[in-house]
């Protein structure tokens, strides 16, 4: 299958053709200025409720008459590894599980085309309806659909059965990685109904409407709308496609209509239309994440009729992006230093089975931090994450789950290439996505199999989406010129100087300057950096802990990020830097920092209850909201009378008191305020700091007990 929109069958693309031919020019002009509400002939039905589940491989469970009364009632999203995948030992269940449910399809859907959609199942899913095997999907992170017309019976009881396995499989990426591979139907399940004449549903489960923008400036922007049609009727249809761009108020700002085209029975066609927007409001990151709506109407005009058979509406954010080797990232022609976090789809007690309110909470915390970018590691995320990034103006690095190792086999190559095409097709229209990642930390960085695969993935990206930037994350230990990191337009480096090796103080900057000098055309970013922290462990100015040890004091993580943050801010040629990670997450093979089964490098704890000290360091630097925060606040019981008071703030001055006695007022040029050699008295001590923001006084207080 060819990519889009560089190579395609083009049927028509004349702006205004539909309106002018069917309404007359004066009517077309008045309709152009009118508010627009997209029709919605499609039907989506949620199928998350009422499943039964067993964590075992059961013979005959696909049969409609199978007795599942002894199985556990569950709703999706669901995973069977929420607990055992986060308790350490690397012994969580990796094998098969079965899901079944009965469903009565509304009788009014008779005559519609029906599709069963799964937003994410890890890792291999076999699906049956009424005993008929629909197919198998491999890959745990992308959406997939099966056509079920004629299999699901409207008006009658139907049985849906799904066998899922997260067993190790060397033919599917990722083979291994530093996180728990949780099994289950862990994202939403739904039923879709369309007309027999519709926008294609089975194009790698993409939207079937693809928006390519070009020549985007403050004066104008060009959008090419490619619509993939399919005629599932038994007769040839005459079709007109109308593309409408509307602003947030519903006012139409651009549109195009095709002339009538014939589409034969049981075949498809592609229609490409180009529209121009005058003086567009640009999607400008967190400063102004403005979104238009692009709607495509499919009109069945067979035998002189005009019936709207299908409509697909996609968001449209108009922006231009570029990365310069000397000046870094540019959005809409202006420099924007990307500072952000890495995000995993996992949380305490829920595992991967998280819901929309929990996605929103995560983004609220990211927004509070002041980040303007997210690397969605190490796989395709739920659509809700990309939608939230669109709405909030966060620049996104999206990537496939090619992590650590490559299997030199035809099956592995085909599966990985398929996961890349799914990622691109399903997410092509999200304006937040600027970078496509083709891999992370492949250990055989100069191996033939590794680089043959990476070269093929880079080629697919150039064919599928030549407008975005390809990237790859180089492992800390790899040489800067490792072949694996040379396939993409830009490169990220995972750098843990001061954690796994080396020093946090100055070595990152020296490394970056050396690479920038020796390879001046190389466009370099920092895809990962971080250090572990247990919020119950504390020490004053601790040395570097053992990464695999049980002692990860919170204060060292803060010192690490202070040092890294200053080095990164001084180097505008680094196009982006992403903290590893926003949240602690499950990695069942780990046993360190006093938290078995957890990677504790998050700025926020696994349960989202505690923002660690380092969180507030970034908030003081990145966010515009008033920040005043006393560090080491959870170190409530002290044994040494002499200590340090350290505050993170974006205020000009901070005043401190200890037990009501003034410690003085300090100014700071780096958002760190330190009072050294503070002496605590036996028993409880109250520390209070105050600062003024725009005429308002803010206060933070902690209590520390000596003895």
Do strands 334-335 and 328-331 pair parallel, antiparallel, or not at all (unpaired)? antiparallel
Residue 9 has pLDDT above 60, yes or no: no
Which residues contact residue 554 at a Cβ distance below 8 angstroms, ignoring those fewer than 6 apart?
533, 534, 535, 537, 538, 612, 613, 632, 634, 635
pLDDT band for position 170 (cuts 50, 70, 90):
very high
**Do residues 214 and 318 lie in contact, with contact meaning Cβ atoms separated by under 8 Å?**
no
User: What share of the chain in percent tops pLDDT 70?
Assistant: 95
Residue 16 has pLDDT above 60, yes or no: no
Question: pTM for the full model?
Answer: 0.95
| Other C-beta atoms lying within 10 Å of the C-beta of residue 91 | 12
User: What share of the chain in percent tops pLDDT 90?
Assistant: 94
Query: What mean pLDDT is predicted for residues 526-550?
Result: 98
Tokens representing 385 are 């994450």
SS3 letters across 243-302 = EEEECCCCEEEEEEECCCEEECCCEEEEEEEEEEEECCCCECHHHCECCEEEEEEEEECH
Q: Known catalytic residue: 182?
A: no
pLDDT band for position 154 (cuts 50, 70, 90):
very high
**Do residues 358 and 388 lie in contact, with contact meaning Cβ atoms separated by under 8 Å?**
no
Domain ranges in the chain with CATH number 2.60.120.260: 44-198
pLDDT band for position 29 (cuts 50, 70, 90):
very low
Which residues contact residue 73 at a Cβ distance below 8 angstroms, ignoring those fewer than 6 apart?
50, 51, 52, 53
CATH topology of domain 337-625: TIM Barrel (3.20.20)
Residue among 418, 454, 403 nearest 175 (CA)? 403
- What distance lies between CA 639 and its chain's CA centroid? 44
Domain ranges in the chain with CATH number 2.60.40.10: 17-34+201-316, 637-706
Which pLDDT score is estimated for 258? 87
Residue 4 has pLDDT above 90, yes or no: no
Which pLDDT score is estimated for 35? 87
- For residue range 609-619, what is the model confidence (pLDDT) as tens digits? 999 999 999 99
Residue 2 has pLDDT above 80, yes or no: no
Give the angle subtended at the CA of 122 by the CAs of 116 and 124, to the nearest 5°.
75
- For residue range 201-251, what is the model confidence (pLDDT) as tens digits? 999 999 999 999 999 999 999 999 999 999 999 999 999 999 999 999 999
Tokens representing 343 are 């995000």
Residue 28 has pLDDT above 70, yes or no: no
Tokens representing 4 are 């889009």
- For residue range 365-390, what is the model confidence (pLDDT) as tens digits? 999 999 999 999 999 999 999 999 99
Residue that is written with structure tokens 């915390």 in the block: 365
Residue among 198, 167, 191 nearest 119 (CA)? 191
CA atoms of 213 and 223, how far apart (whole Å): 4
Domain 17-34+201-316 has CATH 2.60.40.10: yes
- For residue range 649-672, what is the model confidence (pLDDT) as tens digits? 999 999 999 999 999 999 999 999
647 three-class SS = strand
CA atoms of 552 and 601, how far apart (whole Å): 10
Tokens representing 209 are 């409407």
| Other C-beta atoms lying within 10 Å of the C-beta of residue 397 | 26
- Which residue is catalytic, options 62, 297, 314, 441? 441
Superfamily name with CATH number, domain 44-198 = Galactose-binding domain-like (2.60.120.260)
What's 637-706's CATH class?
Answer: mainly beta
Domain ranges in the chain with CATH number 3.20.20.80: 337-625
pLDDT band for position 18 (cuts 50, 70, 90):
very low
- For residue range 72-125, what is the model confidence (pLDDT) as tens digits? 999 999 999 999 999 999 999 999 999 999 999 999 999 999 999 999 999 999
**Do residues 602 and 582 lie in contact, with contact meaning Cβ atoms separated by under 8 Å?**
yes
């Amino acid at each position: 299958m060819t990519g889009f929109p560089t190579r395609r069958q083009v049927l028509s693309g004349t702006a205004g053709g539909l309106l002018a031919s069917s309404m007359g020019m004066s009517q077309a002009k008045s309709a152009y200025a009118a508010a627009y509400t997209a029709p919605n002939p499609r039907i989506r039905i949620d199928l998350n409720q009422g499943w039964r589940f067993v964590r075992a491989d059961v013979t005959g469970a696909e049969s409609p008459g199978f007795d599942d009364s002894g199985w556990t009632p569950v709703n999706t999203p669901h995973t069977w590894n929420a607990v055992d995948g986060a308790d350490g030992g690397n012994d969580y269940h990796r094998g098969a599980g079965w899901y079944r449910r009965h469903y009565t399809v509304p009788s009014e859907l008779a005559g519609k085309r029906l599709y069963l959609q799964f937003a994410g199942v890890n890792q291999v899913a076999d699906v049956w309806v009424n005993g008929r095997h629909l197919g198998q999907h491999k890959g745990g992170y992308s959406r997939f659909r099966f056509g079920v017309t004629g299999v699901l019976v409207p008006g009658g009881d139907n049985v849906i059965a799904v066998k899922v396995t997260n067993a190790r499989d060397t033919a599917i990426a990722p083979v291994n990685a530093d996180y728990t591979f949780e099994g289950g139907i862990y994202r939403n399940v739904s039923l879709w109904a369309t007309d027999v004449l519709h926008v294609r549903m089975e194009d790698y489960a993409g939207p079937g409407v693809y928006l390519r923008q070009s020549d985007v400036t403050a004066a104008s922007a060009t959008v090419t709308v490619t619509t993939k049609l399919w005629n599932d009727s038994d007769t040839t249809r005459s079709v007109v496609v109308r593309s409408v761009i509307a602003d947030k108020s519903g006012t139409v700002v651009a549109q195009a209509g095709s002339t009538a085209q014939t589409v034969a029975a049981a075949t498809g066609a592609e229609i490409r239309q180009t529209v121009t927007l005058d003086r567009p409001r640009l999607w400008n990151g967190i400063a102004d994440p403005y979104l238009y709506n692009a709607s495509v109407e499919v009109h069945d005009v067979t035998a002189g009729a005009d019936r709207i058979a299908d409509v697909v509406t996609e968001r449209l954010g108009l922006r231009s992006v570029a990365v310069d080797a000397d000046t870094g990232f540019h959005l809409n022609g202006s420099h924007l230093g990307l500072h952000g976090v890495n995000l995993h789809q996992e949380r305490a007690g829920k595992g991967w089975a998280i819901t929309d309110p929990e996605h929103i909470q995560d983004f609220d915390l990211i927004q509070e931090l002041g980040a303007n970018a997210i690397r969605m590691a190490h796989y395709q995320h739920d659509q809700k994450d990309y939608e939230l990034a669109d709405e909030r103006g966060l620049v996104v690095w999206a990537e496939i789950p090619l992590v650590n190792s490559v299997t030199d086999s035809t099956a592995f190559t085909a599966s990985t290439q398929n996961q890349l095409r799914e990622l691109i097709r399903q997410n092509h229209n999200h304006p937040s996505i600027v970078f496509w990642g083709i891999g992370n930390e492949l250990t055989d960085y100069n191996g033939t199999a590794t680089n043959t695969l990476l070269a093929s993935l880079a080629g697919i990206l150039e064919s599928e989406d030549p407008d975005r930037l390809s990237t790859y994350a180089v492992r800390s230990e790899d040489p800067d010129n490792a072949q694996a990191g040379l396939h993409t337009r830009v490169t990220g480096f995972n750098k843990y100087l001061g954690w796994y090796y080396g020093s946090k103080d100055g070595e990152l900057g020296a490394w970056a300057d050396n690479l920038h000098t020796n390879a001046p055309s190389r466009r370099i970013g920092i895809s990962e950096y971080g250090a572990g922290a247990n919020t119950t462990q504390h020490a004053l100015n601790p040395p570097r802990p053992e990464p695999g040890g049980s002692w990860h004091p919170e204060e060292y993580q803060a010192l690490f990020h202070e040092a890294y943050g200053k080095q990164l801010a001084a180097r505008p040629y680094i196009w982006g830097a992403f903290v590893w990670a926003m949240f602690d997450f499950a990695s069942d093979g780990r046993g360190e920092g006093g938290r078995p089964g957890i990677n504790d490098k998050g700025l926020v704890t696994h349960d989202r209850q505690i923002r660690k000290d380092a969180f507030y360091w970034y908030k003081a630097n990145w966010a515009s909201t008033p920040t005043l925060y006393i560090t080491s606040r959870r170190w409530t019981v002290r044994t040494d009378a002499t200590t340090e008071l350290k505050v993170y703030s974006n205020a000009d001055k901070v005043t401190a008191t200890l037990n009501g006695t003034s410690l003085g007022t300090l100014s700071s040029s780096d958002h760190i305020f330190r009072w050294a050699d503070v002496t605590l008295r036996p028993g409880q001590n109250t520390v209070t700091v105050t600062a003024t923001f725009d005429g308002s006084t803010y206060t933070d207080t902690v209590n520390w007990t000596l003895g």
